[in-house]
Chain A
Amino acid sequence: MTTSSISKELRKYRALAWALVVTLIISVALFIQFLSIDRTRAVESFSSSAAHATTTSAMRIAQLIGSLGTIGRDYLVLVPSDAQLLSMMDALNIDLTLSTLCVRDGDAVRVIRSGSEDKKSASDRCAADFLSSEAVEMRAGLDNFTTDLRITRSVFGDTELLELRVRDGGVRELRVSISSTVLLDSTLLNDAGLDIDSETVCLSLRIDGVFHQLTCHVGEIAAAVPEIFTQIESNALSISKEIETDGLHWRLVVQPHLQSLAGAITVLPFIMFGIALAIGIVACVFAYQSADKNIRLEMRADELRTRLQQLEQLEAQNSLLDQFAAMAAHDLQAPIRFIVSTAYLLIDELDELDRPELSQMAETQVEQGERMRALVLDLLEFCRAGQSNLVMSSVDTRALVLEEIKLLRAHQEYAQTHITLGSLPESLVCDADKFALIIRNLLGNAVKFSQVNPDPAVSINATRETFHGSWTFRIKDNGPGVAKEHHERIFRPFARLESSINGTGMGLAIVKIMIEQLGGTTWIDPDDMQGSSFCFSIPSAMLE
């Protein structure tokens, strides 16, 4: 392969690579686009429901916090008794009729109220629950929500913990773990001289899978986030609400949980990615194939161009050869003529000398000279026949044949030959001169060869299969005929089958060329073995 064809092949792969890159870019872009659409939709749906949830939550929280405020003020004792806890629940407005209340005090777990269960199983369950660290169950539906209330207070670096878990829907549990039992009261903290700004005092709620972080302080907004709530990120999606309860200012910040957002992602981005990829791959294949086809066409065009060049060269060479042959044939005639002429002179002189053997030599010169001349003339004829300047006209072939017969009859030896004419077209469109030459040659041959027969006879006729089909001319003689194995060879230049019959061997070659120029074919009828039947076809052409 040439370097240019290699670089052409590479173009294929480049086209493919480009198409692939573009496909991937588009697919990824679509994926990201639809992902962000999904996210936006999730955020919007969150936002709309969050707004609602916030409002309802805010109301409940306001109540809760109001109650806590009361509790905080009323209960300063760190170790609340069971009764205190129960009344705390009352204050919190938590319906405890059916609930089991368990309390963990340090490592001990005791059941305050067993509700509908028996005390033993309630106690076991409490113990197990305290030990496990399961997350609060989330329930579907807007009315049921689970509240997980955790109150942390850090004083002088110590952390005290009050954990309130209220499980909704049937079984209520109150789990209280108190290490130190000081309940939260911001007023209290103030009195204690704590610097609110430097301390972390937080109240967090997780409602319905959504974290509500209550950052409480008096006056300013604190930024610290307790450890358990580090999942909450501050981002533009959070919604905040200011609440006031009993002189305490609260800011309610509601942020969507990552998991809930994650759940909102649909399968659409993936579908779009898949579709784009599929289309892209089809486009890649198409690009590759069309690049391939282009290259193939280009290479073919190159090929054809070189072929054309070669052909033109060949044509130029050929015409040069033709010209050369014609010139040679022409220029040979003069010297041949001189040789023969002087030979004739010699014959005359030698006759007088009475030297027959010398006369014989001179006569041989004349003979051979004549032969050379015939050959050169035939060669010229052959060259001329090769030129295809056809002058088409409507030819009366019957009249033409009769004319040729007349010319032949001028030769004495042919005067006795029977020549019969069959039907011949009287308006055949072809080149008159060439047709005449063809007839002259073939007729001449037929008559010449039929002389072998004591009763020489030649016939010419023409037939055609269909009304507008080609004419088939047949020239038959009752001469010796042509052996089957020579039927092909006989039309080649310089082919001579019998040296006894005069001829240069060019006649039939010239005939064949001219017939082919007229668009026909020539052959010897293989079925006619009595003498020879030379046939040729001329297509029916229309005069333009």
Chain B
Amino acid sequence: MNDVMQTPISVDLGDGTVPIVMVDDEQLDFQLVKLFHKRSCLSNPLLHFFNGAEFLAYLESSKEGAVPLPAVVLMDINMPNMNGFEVIEKIRCDEHFMSTPFIMMLTSSDDPRDRERADTAGANGYLVKPFNPNFYLDFFNSLVNKN
């Protein structure tokens, strides 16, 4: 299931100002994540986007340097208009974003086909939304600054 606890994730956390982004249409999921993000030892801010379009717009402006590139992106699958896979595909298509940012699929589905699809689309990992939200704490604490 979630083997992320075993292996730490090394991402570019920068000087602690680089944001962590969550793209999810479900407000409550974000609330849970936000709660545990607060409790974690991360200083990076947490940003929320309700849909892929908004996030893509953010990424566009990050090209010019107006806004910072996120360290980690938590991407939900089931969203209206554009689902998570499509968003990732769009992101990876852009030459600027072919290997960064680090995108984790965060979804309620544990269907192996979705895992495969995430991998093909260009996600770096796959997490299933937990019942025990303490998991989020473990996740945030497992992020290691690769710098």
Contact = CB atoms under 8 A, between A and B. Distances in A.
Interface of A: 333-334, 337-338, 340-341, 344-345, 366, 369-370, 373
12 contacts: A333-B108, A334-B26, A334-B108, A337-B131, A338-B28, A340-B131, A344-B133, A344-B134, A345-B133, A366-B131, A370-B131, A373-B131
Nearest to B112: A433
A23 B133 CA distance: 94
B82 interface: no
A370 to B, nearest CB: 7
Interface residues of B, number: 11
A148 B135 CA distance: 144
A345 B32 CA distance: 9
Nearest to A340: B131
A344 B131 contact: yes
B129 interface: yes
Contacts of A345: 35, 133
A370 B123 CA distance: 29
Contacts, number: 25
A337 B35 contact: no
Interface string B109-147: 000000000000000000001111110000000000000
A373 B128 CA distance: 14
Nearest to A377: B110
A337 B129 CA distance: 8
Contacts of A366: 131
B26, B35, B108, B132: most-surrounded residue (chain A CB, <10 A): B132
Interface in B24-65: 26, 28, 32, 35
A383 to B, nearest CB: 13
B108 A341 contact: no
Nearest to B32: A341
Interface centre among B108, B129, B133, B134 (most CB of A within 10 A): B133
Contact of B132 (A333, A334, A338, A344): A344
A28 B32 CA distance: 102
Given A333-B108, A334-B108, A341 B131 contact: yes
A333 B111 CA distance: 13
Interface string B78-108: 0000000000000000000000000000001
B35 to A, nearest CB: 7
B1 to A, nearest CB: 11
Given A333-B108, A345-B133, 10 more contacts: A337-B108, A337-B129, A338-B28, A340-B131, A340-B132, A341-B131, A341-B132, A341-B133, A344-B132, A370-B131
A369 B132 CA distance: 11
Contacts of A333: 108
A337 B108 CA distance: 9
A161 B129 CA distance: 143
A437 to B, nearest CB: 12
Contacts of B129: 337
Contacts of B132: 340-341, 344
A334 B28 CA distance: 10
Contacts of A337: 108, 129, 131
A366 B108 CA distance: 17
A333 B131 CA distance: 10
A344 B133 CA distance: 7
A369 B131 CA distance: 9
Contacts of A341: 32, 130-133
B93 to A, nearest CB: 29
A88 to B, nearest CB: 138
**Residue among A334, A337, A345 with most chain B CB within 10 A:** A337
A329 to B, nearest CB: 11
Nearest to B108: A333
A68 B43 CA distance: 167
A366 B129 CA distance: 15
Contacts of B32: 338, 341
A340 B108 CA distance: 14
A428 B129 CA distance: 37
User: Of residues B35, B129, B130, B131, which shows the largest number of chain A Cβ atoms within 10 Å of its Cβ?
Assistant: B131
B10 to A, nearest CB: 26
A151 to B, nearest CB: 130
A284 to B, nearest CB: 69
A398 B63 CA distance: 54
Contacts of A344: 131-134
